[in-house]
Amino acid sequence: RMASDSEAYPSGELHSVSSGIPRMLSPPPPMATHAKGVQGRAGSAASSSLKMFKKGWNALRKSAVGYGTTIAGRSASYSGSSRGLSADLGGVGSSTWAGRHLPTGKDPCSRHGSGSLRPASDSGSSEVKATIIVRSNGSLTVADGEARIQDTAREDQVRALSDIWMTDILPNWEEKKKSGRYSKRTRDLFFRGLPTSIRGRVWPLALGNALNVSPELFEVLRKHARENRAHYFREREELDNADGDLGGHGGRAEVVLMAHERSSQKAINLDLPRTFPELAFFHSDDSPFQINLRELLEAYCLLRPDVGYAQGMSFLAALLLLYLDPNDAFTCFVNMMSGSCFLHFFRMKMPEVRIYMDVHQRFLSEELPVLYAHFCREGIEPEMYLVNWIMSMYCQALPLECTSRVWDLYVMDGDIMLFRVALGILRLYSGSLVNMAFDEIAYVLSHIPDDIDVEALIDSIRKVQVCRKTRLKELYRSVEAQRLKLENQNKDAVD
């Protein structure tokens, strides 16, 4: 949903312009700040507004990959103290900011790399003019006219990609899928990244709905989930009011407390604030995003009580909700959990998880033998990094921009892409990793730099040669047979 009308914002207050961003980035209504007639505030209020803008934008800017964050036909002004910025947001994907300089060392954005907001030179109190480009990857950067032209070219490229999907790929989707595999051209489009406006349509089609999950089923599960949640909180309140003695709460205190400690409801409540902590709209109690996320997870627990809830699920569900409506997100989530390695990881089902770790080791030894040998010498095991990468579908490992691109590849190829992405990351940093000791390697693999080059990562993933669907199945069966043989030998030795 794009804004088409022009709105004037009162002087002295930086207001949300996020309704001009694609739907997946729009904050819930309670968070929008379009109140008219608010008097401007200077000094500390201006600084606070700027910090809020910076914090929110830094979190959201990179998720608009492949689609220009068009803020068209809108205008805003920001004035006040000497640190103030006044803005005139106009045009497509770009804006011109004029205002007083930012004193040296007072850069509101801590990073000065590509795509970040850089401070103007400290040349007194005179006004300066700069061009801030809202880039196609969602980032802000101070640039000159040439960079603005380049950004416009990128916008045109993204529009061209969107046109290809809308006029050629999507109308003929079923016909193109009959062959059971994507054409080389379609695969290339996936690797180039889906435009944000297209993801909401392509992801459900690519993942499919083999389980025939319907909106009616989701609605029934949501209703039961709300009832169960209300019952849970009533019992919690009664427990809080119990005397604390053995046999309190009518003799049921201990039983209820133990049930609550093991409940999915408690695990979900604990994980909601940890899910994309940089995205505040997932953490407001009255936010539609948090409500939808909670209900999706609770509904899945009712649908699959044998699986329940496990840490990491909230990230998968949250990313789906950024691009899809709740019904489609639930359908995709259920189908992703079924018939894939996700189920083994979330249930921590052994020895299946261990087999996947061994399969990754085989892939690593074939694709990057030097790095594999170095990991073996340093004692780096795949459990130290791969389990978290897979269980969160790289949401915790990579910036939101990279994660969305990785998901584009996952919906195309399925489980094999989980291992291919892992090798792509290791390939990208292999030159540094082979010269590191255990502690450094462990830190890097658990703290991948936020400024990772997404295009370099995708190129690295594309260069991985050993990861193929048939090869994954072959290695899994081979490792499984070896483990069974070893277990039988151990049993015979014991007997």
Q: What are the tens digits of pLDDT across the range 51-69?
A: 544 554 455 544 444 333 3
> What three-state secondary structure class fits 98?
strand
- Residue 154: per-residue pLDDT: 74
> Which stretches in the chain have pLDDT values below 70?
1-150, 238-262, 495
| Tokens representing residue 448 in the block | 């991948």
Nearest Cα residue to 383 out of 407, 363, 358, 366: 358
What does the alpha-carbon distance between residue 419 and residue 479 come to, in Å, rounded to a whole number? 16
Tell me the backbone φ, ψ of residue 131, rounded to 5 degrees: -105, 125
d(CA 165, CA 161): 6
Determine the residue type at 386.
L
pLDDT at 319: 95
CA separation for the pair 289, 298 (Å, rounded): 14
For residue range 68-79, list pLDDT tens digits in order: 333 222 223 222
Q: Give the burial string for 3-27 (b: 16+ CB within 10 Å, else e).
A: beeeeebebbbbbbbbbbbbebbbb
> CA-CA distance, 29 to 480, in Å (whole number)?
51
pLDDT for res 152: 78
Alpha-helical runs (H) found in 242-368 = 248-251, 253-261, 264-271, 288-303, 313-323, 326-337, 341-346, 352-367
- Amino acid (1-letter code) at residue 94: S
Beta bridge partners of 100: 127
Locate 218 and state its tokens: 């989701």
Measured CA to CA, the distance from residue 443 to residue 439 in angstroms comes to 6
How many Cβ atoms are within 10 Å of 305's Cβ, its own excluded? 9
**Token output for 215:** 């909106």
Residue 143 C-alpha from the chain's centroid: 28
